[in-house]
Structures are given as structure tokens and as C-alpha cells.
A and B are shown apart, each in its own frame.
Chain A
Amino acid sequence: MSRSSVARPLTPRPLASRVTAALVAAVALTSCGFVNTDDERSAGAVTAYVNTEQNTGLAPLVEAYRQATGAGVDVSSANTDELNQQIRVQLTSGTAADVIRVSPGYSSPVAAGVLGAEGQIADLSDAEWAGQLSPDTRALAGVGGRVMALPVARNAIVMAYNRDVFANAGLTPPTTWSQLLTACRTLRDAGVTPIAAPFQGGIYLQYWVYALAATLVYAPQPDIDAQMAAGATSFSTDARWNEVFARFAELNESGCFSDGMLGLPPDQGQQSVATGGSAMLLTVSGGLPALHGYHEAGAQAFDVFALPATDDTTQTHVPVAPDFLAVNAAAKDPAAARAFLDFLARPENVAAYANAMGVLPGLAVDVEIDSTVLTPVLPYVEEGRTTAYANYLWPNGDVQQTLLQSGQEWLHGAIDTATLLGRMDADYAKGTP
């Protein structure tokens, strides 16, 4: 027998119940992040959507901007991959922030050159700081000679090493290719993995190609991309590009890299250098804080050097790439967004950002850099022995994607160098979308 229930007449809910329900809903939505409170979002403030590294460097400057001008900047952040994926959709749907992070050149669908050509970002050529871009940075900052983005910093690809491991092996930073191979042998004999190679996903794999190409390809042949675009040469037919992969293969065959490198994730590669299991890691300078974070001594436990690719030390070049911010062409208040970028471009703020992040200044201004993290490679920057990351000069992002994936097949021995370069040529030939 079931329990009988007495039906109650439907009556309007008391006001108190409705108010309670509304409060609960409001609290729930707010706590879940669906609703911005006044504390979180300043009315009428410039909005910015940047990557996590930029967010760290910008935080004190946003506060300084608020104190100096009384204007707020609401900054949201995501890692670069997610950011690139979302900004494209946001621009199309008209929901993008006023200030956005853009990639250099034509390297992705949200690169300065691509968005500049589409008119999705504002032309900033008349800004005071536009004349302070170094030539290699200017080439990546827009389209048709117009400056469409502010370089808040420049990253370099450097070889980081564990000081204790080097000291225990009696090594000093190698300055030639032969010294690098010798150092690898010495470290291997000492039971240490010479170079951490976290090539799972391919991100760290590409740094090797860019770093070797800086010295072997772009330094002696700065206009090679113009030649490739004109069909005068290609990855496959250019002897220097073939030399890049020959050097890379030589290191691999010499046992310089981690065992099981294609299955090693980036964080474990960094940890292995921090714990002394590996001695070196080729990384972007923006990744150094993460590496330092794995050692209790922090930055003091590590140092960096420029990757040599030949036995002539004067030939060594360092790949350097800017990290850009641009103004959304459909920003609610473009003048306010531009004012914020102008503030960031002041020399003292350029220096503050570089010191906070341990990176190179974005603009070619005379500033005092306190951070010593990149001191060993500063002479290369001052002497102009830098080139852009190769992929930023390529006409589309597919070439890089093929390098990441087919490069893993090449390292595994599944394809030869000619096949890899042929695939990159095929993507290069697609041109800029």
C-alpha cells in the first residue's frame, strides 16, 4: 500500500522565497564566474586578452597605469595555444577584447600580418614608439610596412644549463659546434643526459630548427624567404636548410638527446635539467622562469649560452622574436586602448616589463636591464647578431605544423630529410591565406 498524499492547492510563492531564490542564483552565477562584479571589472575600462606570460609582466604596469591616469584595464589571460584559438572566433563574432595578443608575421591565423591584412587590428604606424622598432621586429609587426602591433618584449632561443652539472663535469659553455659535441660526450660518460629533449608535441623540437637556422641559414642569407617565395630556392634544394637538419641529426646520432625523447613531455624535460638528470635544455627565454621554478635556488642554479652551429664563433646568431600586443579595430574605445599601449611603450615601462620577466626589451630603446638571466646573450643582441624565428617569416602556419608533426617522424626514422623538407615545401607553396 502506498502512502497517500494530500494535494495542496497551488498558491503563489511567498515573496521571501523568490528573493531567496534570486539571491542564491546571483551568488551561484557570480561564484561560477558568469557574472563580473564591480571589483572584477571596471566600468568603461579597456579590456585586454593576453597570454599568461604577458599577464604576469603586465600586472604591475596595469596598476601603475591606473594610478597615473585613473583609467582601468581589465586583463584576461590564457595560454598561447588557447588564446590563438579563441581570438580568431572572438574577432569574427565581435566579442574580442580591445587589446589582444597577436603572433608575429604570418605564423598563425591571429598573426599581425594576417589580421593586419584583413583590417581586424588598428594601424598604429603614427604612434611615437613606432619608430623605435628594430628592423627585424618591424618586419613582423604588421603588413605593407605599416606597424600594427607593439612589441612588449622579445624572446630569445637560448641553451639553458645546470651550473652544478657543468661544474661537476669540468665543463664551460661550448662556443663552437665541436665543443658542443665534446661536451655531450663528456656528460654522457659522466652518466648525465647531455641535452633534455622533451619533443612530445614537437614544441621543443622546433626550437632546434630555428636556432640552427639562425646561424646556418638566415645569417648568411637574410633574404632567403624572399627567394623561397619567388621559387628561386626551397627547403629541399637549399644546401643550408639541408645542413640544419644534418646538424640536428648529428646530435641525435651522437646520443646527445634524452632517451625516449618523443615521449618526454616539456615539464619533465625541464625537471630533468633542474634535478641534474640532464645538463642542458634549448628553450625560449620566456620559458626560463618555469625552469628556474623547478630548482630551490631558482635562477642562480642555471645559466644560458647561445647555441653554436659552426666552429666559427663569429658566425653564431641568436633567434629573437617579439611578443606583440595590438588594438582591435572594432575596440569600443580605440583611443583608450592606444593610450594604454603608449604607456607601455615608455622607456621606464619597457624596462620594468623586461626586468620583471627576464626578457629582452621589446623596443630598441636605451634602458637599464637589471635582470642577469640573459646577460650571456646580450652581446649578440647589441651586435645585431640576431634573426627572427624562422617560422615567423614563413607565409603560413601550416609549414610550422608540418615541421612539428613530420619532424617527429623524421627523428623517429620513419621518413628521411628529403621527405620532411618536401612536405614543408608543399605547405610553403600554399602562400599566405
Chain B
Amino acid sequence: MTATLQRPRPGGRLAVPSGRRAGRGRAVPLGLIAPALLFYAVVVLYPTVAGGLYAFTDWTGRAGAPDVVGLGNFAELLSSPPARAALANTLVIAVCTTVVQTVVGLALALALHSRLASRHVLRTLFFAPALLPPVIIGFLWQYVLTPEGPLNGALAAAGLDGLAGNWLGDSALALWAVIAVIIWQNAGLTMVIYLAGLQGVPAELLEAAEIDGASRWQRLRHVTLPMLLPATTIATSLTLIGSLKLFDQVYVMTGGGPGYATETLSVVMYEEAFVSGRYGYSAAIALVLTMIVFALALVQMWGLRRYEVQP
């Protein structure tokens, strides 16, 4: 079946209905989207704005108007050792997860974008963890990583007792264990994004490069990777945003501990609101987290899109 697209006249304007028919034409779509807009305003816009305003109050969840504390909540966030530790942990998780997960996902995609007979099975296996709820992943790995758990058991069975560790109970290891679990779960998702990107790399470009004498590494470096930059933008953006607001796995696996070793901004935000009842302070953390996510995502997308190549 073919379709014919009609080009607009050069320099011309789009033909729009005029008069009463035009007015009715605009009113109908507005009438149709009004309920959705109203729903969006009530469910998303109002709570978002209200949450932003609560960030400047000492609201504790009680009925009645809270007192305005100005920038007090933000000052506390920057001066409180636990909050600063959470901020640092959040940034470490975001950077490590984004970099390592992207590299691992790309490597898996390149390895499985081949004529390997088992590639479909392997793709499914690597992607499967991304389909499981993060809470389930957290509980599973919490068990695997306990001192007497399967991981240390396997290391001992392999004669590698020296590598066994108190993965979630040692402050020096816990954050890295959490990061490893997150990458394990989500690397398959990055792989799928890159596999989709690899489908869009024109075979003729690779063939031309090969005819010109380019080695495999040179074809990857100068043809494939530049063509994958749009996929990289998507993969890193999703990973960065997801890791900055990371909550489930950390809360289930460590609860932010031992001590404050794996505390993240999302966990502190949750604890301050729902454990300590400090909703105003929690809203301030949420506002800061939102601004961090927005700023980093913007910088990252701007930086990567400058180098994107369209096939």
C-alpha cells in the first residue's frame, strides 16, 4: 500500500477553516481535552506546586496552616551530616551506575548483535531482571549478600574464601554492593536500547568502511559508536534519572545503612516524611532532588546531542 504526502506550498500558510466553522473546530478539541487537563491539573499540577510551597514551611502533617520557615529546610539539608552523606551517595550511585551500566549494556548489545545461535535466549536472560519489580530484586539480593548467604558460600566452595565479605553490613562495601545490584538489574534494559540502535546502523556504511580497509575496531570506533549516540542519549538519560531517584532497592536491601553508608536522598526524603512526620523538610529534599535531576539531565542531553549523528 502506498501513501502520498502532500507538501505544503512553499512560503504558504497552512489552510485553516475560517469563520464560525473555525471557531467550532477549535472548541471541539478543547472540549475533548478539558477533562484530561482538569484531571492533570488536580492530580499533578496542584500537588506539585503545593509540594514546592510546603518546602518552605515546617509542616508536620497536622491539620491547619504550617509556619513559614523560609530557606530553613534547605539550610538544614546542606548542614545535616546524614543529608550530606545521602547527597554524596546519590551522586556516586548516579555517576557509577550511569557509566558502568552504559558500558555493560553496550558490550552486551554488541556481543549479541551477531549471528550467534543462542543470541535470542541470551538477550532474554540478560533482559529478564529488568522485568522484575525492584522490591523483589532487593529482597533476593539481600538474601544472596548476607554473611552466610549463597554468594559467600559459592566463593568458599570455589576456594575463594578471601574474597568473601559482609557485603551489606560493611560500610566500605555496602554502597558498591547496591550499585552492583542496580547495574545487574538494569544493564539488560540498556542492552535492549542499544540493540534497537544497532538495527539503525546502515550496513552499507560498515561495508564501505570495510572496503576502505577499516579494521573491526576502527569500524566500531568511527562508524558504529557515532551512529549509536542517539541511543546513548536515551540510555544514559534514563539511567541517570532512575539512579538519582533510587529508592526501592536501597530501602529493601539496607534501609540506608549500615549507619548512613547507603543513604540516598529518596530514602531520607521518605524517612523524614513518613517516619519522622517532617513533611516540610521532606518536601525541601524533594525539591532539591528534582532540581538536581532536571539540571543533570539537561546538561547530559545537551552535551550528547551535540555529537549525535543521524543515519
B interface residues, how many (CB within 8 angstroms):
31
Shortest Cβ distance from residue B275 to the other chain A in the assembled complex, whole angstroms: 7
A interface residues, how many (CB within 8 angstroms):
34
Instruction: Find out whether the CB atom of B258 lies under 8 angstroms from the CB atom of A262.
Output: yes
Q: List 8 A-B contacts (CB under 8 A).
A: A2-B1, A84-B275, A260-B147, A260-B169, A260-B170, A263-B170, A265-B143, A408-B258
A interface residues (Cβ-Cβ under 8 A, vs B):
1-2, 81, 84-85, 88-89, 92, 108-109, 118, 199-202, 258-265, 268, 397-398, 401, 405-406, 408-409, 412, 414, 433
| Residue of A whose beta carbon sits closest to that of B270 | A85
Measured between alpha carbons, how far is A247 from B6 in the docked complex, in Å? 85
B257 interfacial by beta-carbon distance below 8 Å: yes
Considering the complex, which residues of chain B in the window 226-284 have a beta carbon less than 8 Å from any beta carbon of chain A?
254-260, 271, 274-277
| Residue of B whose beta carbon sits closest to that of A118 | B62
B54 interfacial by beta-carbon distance below 8 Å: no
Name B274's contact: one of A88, A261, A405, A406 (CB within 8 Å): A88
Name A398's contact: one of B63, B143, B257, B276 (CB within 8 Å): B276
| New A-B contacts (18) at CB < 8 Å, excluding given A108-B275, A260-B170, A265-B142 | A84-B275, A85-B275, A92-B61, A109-B60, A109-B277, A118-B62, A258-B147, A259-B166, A260-B169, A262-B168, A263-B169, A265-B146, A268-B148, A397-B276, A405-B82, A408-B257, A409-B171, A412-B170
Considering the complex, which residues of chain B in the window 158-177 have a beta carbon less than 8 Å from any beta carbon of chain A?
166-171, 174
Name B1's contact: one of A1, A85, A199, A414 (CB within 8 Å): A1
B145 interfacial by beta-carbon distance below 8 Å: yes
Shortest Cβ distance from residue A5 to the other chain B in the assembled complex, whole angstroms: 13
What A residues does B61 contact at CB under 8 A?
88-89, 92, 109
Choose among A92, A199, A397, A401 the residue with the greatest number of B CB atoms under 10 Å from its CB. A92
Measured between alpha carbons, how far is A408 from B169 in the docked complex, in Å? 9
What A residues does B63 contact at CB under 8 A?
92
What A residues does B142 contact at CB under 8 A?
265
Shortest Cβ distance from residue A382 to the other chain B in the assembled complex, whole angstroms: 36
Give the top 9 A-B pairs by smallest Cβ distance, nearest first.
A263-B169, A260-B147, A109-B277, A262-B169, A409-B259, A85-B274, A260-B166, A408-B258, A262-B258
Shortest Cβ distance from residue B61 to the other chain A in the assembled complex, whole angstroms: 5
Shortest Cβ distance from residue A348 to the other chain B in the assembled complex, whole angstroms: 37
Instruction: Find out whether the CB atom of B260 lies under 8 angstroms from the CB atom of A409.
Output: yes
| Residue of B whose beta carbon sits closest to that of A409 | B259
Instruction: Find out whether the CB atom of B259 lies under 8 angstroms from the CB atom of A268.
Output: no
What B residues does A108 contact at CB under 8 A?
275, 277
What B residues does A1 contact at CB under 8 A?
1
Instruction: Find out whether the CB atom of A401 lies under 8 angstroms from the CB atom of B147.
Output: no
Shortest Cβ distance from residue A119 to the other chain B in the assembled complex, whole angstroms: 10
Instruction: Find out whether the CB atom of B259 lies under 8 angstroms from the CB atom of A405.
Output: yes
Name B169's contact: one of A89, A261, A397, A414 (CB within 8 Å): A261
Name A263's contact: one of B1, B166, B271 (CB within 8 Å): B166
Measured between alpha carbons, how far is A402 from B219 in the docked complex, in Å? 56
Choose among B143, B174, B257 the residue with the greatest number of A CB atoms under 10 Å from its CB. B257
Measured between alpha carbons, how far is A108 from B275 in the docked complex, in Å? 7
Instruction: Find out whether the CB atom of B275 lies under 8 angstroms from the CB atom of A412.
Output: no
Shortest Cβ distance from residue A75 to the other chain B in the assembled complex, whole angstroms: 22
What A residues does B147 contact at CB under 8 A?
258-260, 263-264
What A residues does B145 contact at CB under 8 A?
263
Name A414's contact: one of B143, B171, B277 (CB within 8 Å): B171
Instruction: Find out whether the CB atom of A412 lies under 8 angstroms from the CB atom of B258.
Output: yes
| Residue of A whose beta carbon sits closest to that of B1 | A2
| Residue of B whose beta carbon sits closest to that of A85 | B274
Instruction: Find out whether the CB atom of A201 lies under 8 angstroms from the CB atom of B255.
Output: yes
What B residues does A412 contact at CB under 8 A?
170-171, 258-259
Contact A406 B259, CB 8 Å, known A263-B168, A264-B147: yes
Shortest Cβ distance from residue B42 to the other chain A in the assembled complex, whole angstroms: 15
What B residues does A264 contact at CB under 8 A?
146-147, 169
Name B276's contact: one of A92, A109, A262 (CB within 8 Å): A109
Measured between alpha carbons, how far is A259 from B149 in the docked complex, in Å? 13
What B residues does A88 contact at CB under 8 A?
61, 274, 277
Quick one: CB contact mask for B194-231 with A, threshold 8 Å, 1 for yes?
00000000000000000000000000000000000000
Quick one: CB contact mask for B61-76 with A, threshold 8 Å, 1 for yes?
1110000000000000
Measured between alpha carbons, how far is A92 from B63 in the docked complex, in Å? 6
What B residues does A200 contact at CB under 8 A?
168-169, 254-255, 257-258
| Residue of A whose beta carbon sits closest to that of B168 | A263
What A residues does B143 contact at CB under 8 A?
265
Measured between alpha carbons, how far is A378 from B85 in the docked complex, in Å? 45
What B residues does A89 contact at CB under 8 A?
61, 274
| Residue of B whose beta carbon sits closest to that of A407 | B259
What A residues does B277 contact at CB under 8 A?
88, 108-109, 433
